[in-house]
Structure 1
Amino acid sequence: MSTTDVTTAPRPLLLPGGEPAAAAWSLDPALRHLNHGSFGAVPTAVQEEQNRLRAEMDRAPVVWFPGLPRRIAAVRAEVAAFLRVSAGDLAMVPNASAGASVVFGNLPRRRGGEIVVTDHGYGAVTMGAERLARRWGGRVRTAHVPLGAGAEEAYEAVLAECGDATDLVVVDHVTSATARRLPVAEIGAEARRRGVPVLVDGAHAPGLLQAPLDGVDCDFWVANLHKWGCAPRGSAVLVARGPLRDGLYPLIDSWGAAEPFPQRFDSQGTLDLTGYLATPASLGFIGRTWGWDTARGYMDELADYGQRVIGDAFAALTGEPGGVDVGMPVPGMRLVRLPAGLGRTRIDADGLRDRVAAELAVEAAFTSFGGIGYLRLSAHVYNTPDDYEYFAERCVPVLADWARSEATR
């Protein structure tokens, strides 16, 4: 947790004309939107820009598609500047999982075919690692990192699973289910010394972390721009450095296959890549309207406030602390422990998400780790303290009742 004074609600952000920040989005006002971290939310102006680009594409497709690689290259340069990396190291991909699939589909086995992951890993990426291990005739080794583990303990847990047979380490920059960082810089440096490639899943990092790749030495880094960057969905990056980069090819073979990395990713046939082209509009909208430092600071203060308000509401009903301290916290994301019996597995947590949306009109993220269910808060600029006060007043008592019903079944 941060040292922010969470007894005082942060002042909501406003648009230049004085309207609430949420007025810049088309989110349904009949719902409370407390789960930005899963699918993001695209500002209305960016939706309009993407629609303008689609209209341009459909007016003259024979002009559009041959000129598209040049336009994608220009976007890569803008996104690379935002992330503070070289444009020559960055390829555009549909999402972080697709970027990971590119790595899994092109990486050669060099040692014993073992892949090291953690128990905080994103399920789809871990499943991809398992498929690669089977194809290699190897296996996946899972590093168990306690939720409260600091950088050194987490580092030791991951490296303890690495050995002479390790061909790849897959580690999250920011974990999805548990809203914490992992020490990717330290893990990457040691893996480089051992000659082991590292894939960092940075799905949540762009916009949430300033200059996320500064000091990080890894072979591959994948990340979504549609989350904290609020870009159209289907806009993500694959950053690759080192000798293995030149062996990476897109999931779809197209006419750019003979080009070097990353240019070969700029040609993807007739796919609608207007989401890529509209991404700079989203990054620029937040930057011009509030500034990214201000946006991150507000999101962090608000997440702290939300954790306190909702955690205290649960504690008042259950007698157990609701707030959760993680070992390496991140801005804008927090966990609140659910009452016993709720969200104990991923399937249970997903069912809780759907039920809360249907019955309580709240879009929220529920996750599971180590058999314990959590509410994962992920604030953005359009959220306000009232969102979390509403959840504490209206939803927490209902969730407590659901937990009591589970206990008596």
Structure 2
Amino acid sequence: MSETEVITAPRPLLLGDGRPAGRAWSLDPDLRHLNHGSFGAVPLVAQERQELLRAEMERSPVVWFPALPQRIAGARVELAEFLRVDAGDLALVPNASAGASVVYAALTLRPGAEIVVTDHGYGAVTMGAERLARRWGGRVRTARVPLDADQDEAYEAVARELGDATGLVVVDQITSATARRLPVERIGAEARRHGIPVLVDAAHAPGLLAAPLADATYDFWTGNLHKWGCAPRGTAALVARGPLRDLLYPLIDSWAAGEPFPDRFDQQGTVDATAYLAAPTSLAFVESAWGWPAARRYMDDLADYGAHVIGGALAELTGVDCAVDLGMPVPGMRLVRLPDGLAADRIEADALRDRVAGELGVEAAFTSFDGVGYLRLSAHVYNTAADYEYFAEECVPVLGAWARENSGKRSAQ
């Protein structure tokens, strides 16, 4: 974006009957919801569909559960079409972290092997990699990728960590804490050249990217449909290709254990799988209301505007440029640097999230990278420019006061 480019507020999206898009959700109108990326938000039509399914399940559980695997298999076909993959490559799991856990549990013991991750990795997934490395008697190697690293620099940072001892590479397609892409296509191709398995953590990719698996080279790919796809929570895809996928089993053993991948994932005892069955309703709703390409354009334009308005307010308050240069930005998500004294680490960032929600009435995401705090914006179709203008006008001055208060306390210690 050039310095002279004017960033204007996109017109809010409307429903077919002229109502604001947000009326299709049950979000609390007394809060500003600026953190879709953490837990998603489920449209009413999908909530209603799930409740009907739950009522059906409770009316006749002995009929419901034996028939459930076939219904899940049907839902997989629809979800695979949305992701543009073969349904025979896709299993359903509760979330991307569960998909990673399935992979970690399946891989053959490699004594002394190393696992390569990046310093942008999602904490829970990285902790799983560390547990696997301990079981192997090996270690985790962390590739350091600068926030502003372009595709070449990010690729080289990971490639430098690969070696004869590498038993697995875990890399984010879209990073959670830093809202940037990593070149999973090139990293995957390089790992494949060395015969190293690759797990792509794509928690944020479904819905945000039109075809997230199109050019990727990977053994395992796992992404949440309950984030940008707005599916009921607890719906994620685990896509696996190649011979290693035959090693993958659900974390819960059930009667389908003898079935091939992915069919063995369709039966999980008495687990409530209504989220899986209602997920296509969410995807179809966004498509019918606006179309996914138009929804993605709106989210991206709105995130741009939000970063401009809030970043400008913070810069005016602090005298510091709060714009963040991300080497590989993604649509719909932005980072804005916070004043010194706020969110220096994950614990502080989470505490700030809770305080802003409780005292300022805004659900927002605060993250930390390399000791610096950031506000992570993640827009969706129900958001409007007014949400970000409110944050800039009402919340930024308070954040400035809190930052000064924290800095004063630290100086006095």
TM-score normalized by the length of structure 1:
0.99
The aligned residue for residue 93 of structure 2 is: 93
The aligned residue for residue 214 of structure 1 is: 214
1:300-347, CA deviations, whole angstroms, 9 ceiling, x for partnerless residues? 000000000000000001000111110000000000000011000000
Q: Which secondary structure does the structure 1 equivalent of 2:299 belong to?
A: helix
What is the CA distance between 1:15 and its match in structure 2? 0.2
Q: Is 1:27 aligned with 2:27?
A: yes
The aligned residue for residue 376 of structure 2 is: 376
Q: Distance in 2 between matches of 1:286 and 1:325?
A: 30
Report the residue type matching 1:260 in the other structure.
Answer: P
1:96-135, CA deviations, whole angstroms, 9 ceiling, x for partnerless residues? 0000000000111347410000000000000000000000
Q: Among the aligned pairs, what percent are the same residue?
A: 74
Contact 1:15 1:289 in 2 (8 A): yes
**Structure 1 residue runs without a partner (length 5+):** none
Q: Distance in 1 between matches of 2:16 and 2:3?
A: 29
Q: Distance in 1 between matches of 2:257 and 2:236?
A: 20
Q: Distance in 2 between matches of 1:64 and 1:187?
A: 43
Cα distance change, pair 397–333 in 1 and its aligned pair in 2 (3 A): same
The aligned residue for residue 334 of structure 1 is: 334
Contact 1:112 1:166 in 2 (8 A): no
The aligned residue for residue 79 of structure 1 is: 79
What is the CA distance between 1:4 and its match in structure 2? 11
1:37-81, CA deviations, whole angstroms, 9 ceiling, x for partnerless residues? 000000011100000000000001011000000000001111101
Report the residue type matching 2:222 in the other structure.
Answer: V
The aligned residue for residue 366 of structure 1 is: 366
1:160-217, CA deviations, whole angstroms, 9 ceiling, x for partnerless residues? 1111000000000000000000000000011011000000000000000011001101
**Structure 2 residue runs without a partner (length 5+):** none
Q: Distance in 1 between matches of 2:6 and 2:146?
A: 26
The aligned residue for residue 131 of structure 2 is: 131
Report 1:274-293 matches (<5 A): 274-293=274-293
What is the CA distance between 1:3 and its match in structure 2? 9.9
What is the CA distance between 1:407 and its match in structure 2? 1.4
Q: Distance in 1 between matches of 2:323 and 2:395?
A: 16
Report 1:334-353 matches (<5 A): 334-353=334-353
The aligned residue for residue 225 of structure 2 is: 225
The aligned residue for residue 234 of structure 2 is: 234
The aligned residue for residue 246 of structure 1 is: 246
What is the CA distance between 1:241 and its match in structure 2? 0.4
Report the residue type matching 1:235 in the other structure.
Answer: T
Q: Which secondary structure does the structure 1 equivalent of 2:8 belong to?
A: coil
TM-score normalized by the length of structure 2:
0.98
Cα distance change, pair 4–84 in 1 and its aligned pair in 2 (3 A): farther
Q: Distance in 2 between matches of 1:177 and 1:390?
A: 23
Q: Distance in 1 between matches of 2:45 and 2:256?
A: 32
Cα distance change, pair 226–157 in 1 and its aligned pair in 2 (3 A): same
Contact 1:4 1:301 in 2 (8 A): no
Q: Which secondary structure does the structure 2 equivalent of 1:408 belong to?
A: helix
Q: Distance in 2 between matches of 1:220 and 1:144?
A: 22
Q: Distance in 2 between matches of 1:265 and 1:6?
A: 50
Report the residue type matching 1:298 in the other structure.
Answer: Y
CA RMSD of aligned residues (A): 1.1
Contact 1:111 1:167 in 2 (8 A): no
What is the aligned residue count? 409
Q: Is 1:201 aligned with 2:216?
A: no
The aligned residue for residue 302 of structure 1 is: 302
Q: Distance in 2 between matches of 1:110 and 1:211?
A: 33
Q: Distance in 2 between matches of 1:387 and 1:376?
A: 14
Q: Distance in 2 between matches of 1:96 and 1:397?
A: 36
Q: Distance in 1 between matches of 2:324 and 2:200?
A: 25
- Where in structure 1 do 4 or more consecutive aligned residues deviate above 2 Å? 1-7, 109-112
What is the CA distance between 1:251 and its match in structure 2? 0.1
Contact 1:6 1:301 in 2 (8 A): no
The aligned residue for residue 355 of structure 2 is: 355
The aligned residue for residue 50 of structure 1 is: 50
Q: Distance in 2 between matches of 1:158 and 1:397?
A: 40
Q: Which secondary structure does the structure 1 equivalent of 2:199 belong to?
A: strand
Report the residue type matching 1:313 in the other structure.
Answer: A
